[in-house]
Amino acid sequence: MAKKVAFLVAGEGIEQVELTEPWKAVEEAGARPVLVSPEEGRVQAFNHLDKADTFEVDLTVAKARVDDFDVLVLPGGVANPDALRTNDSAVSFVRAFVESGKPVAAICHAPWTLVEADAVRGRTLTSWPSLQTDLRNAGATWVDEELVVCEQGPGPLVTSRKPDDLPAFTKALGEYL
């Protein structure tokens, strides 16, 4: 049976390439990507600050079950994880996913949601540089590298800094598929 990968996003502010490139990598690996969001309908992606495409939500986070997925991907964009970290259902889903020991992959600003889920303490990760103080204050070790795979803790945590790091990020993601 093909693995299922949850892509958790807010209603808008998703950095499009950080959604579409990992999505494509998941499909190429023979796995099934599923777009999960707090609300039904469509989500708005962006190319930095400019509106880009919209994408149909497959499943609301309130109905999503960690047991139904093998991997969680958290795309970045500034507004996307900032909105997710204020949504109790999204934070609970991320926390439960991390605690399950299954792989979680987060890029750019996405580790903000991991901070809110108290999932970075004692872990080493990377992110967009402006998050380093938030991550350190939450108990993480932050490093400026294109890819960090942290095996400490309940399950693997794969992180990258920015869209330029997507080749390394998607390759590492593929290793869990």
Cβ atoms of 21 and 170 closer than 8 Å: yes
Q: For residue 112, give the amino acid letter.
A: W
Give the alpha-carbon dihedral of 163, 169, 94, 41, to 10 degrees. Answer: 50
d(CA 132, CA 141): 9
Q: Catalytic amino acids?
A: 108-109
Cβ atoms of 110 and 75 closer than 8 Å: yes
Q: Which residues of 132-164 are buried (b: 16+ CB within 10 A; e: fewer)?
A: bebbeebebebeeeebbbbeebebbbbbbbbbe
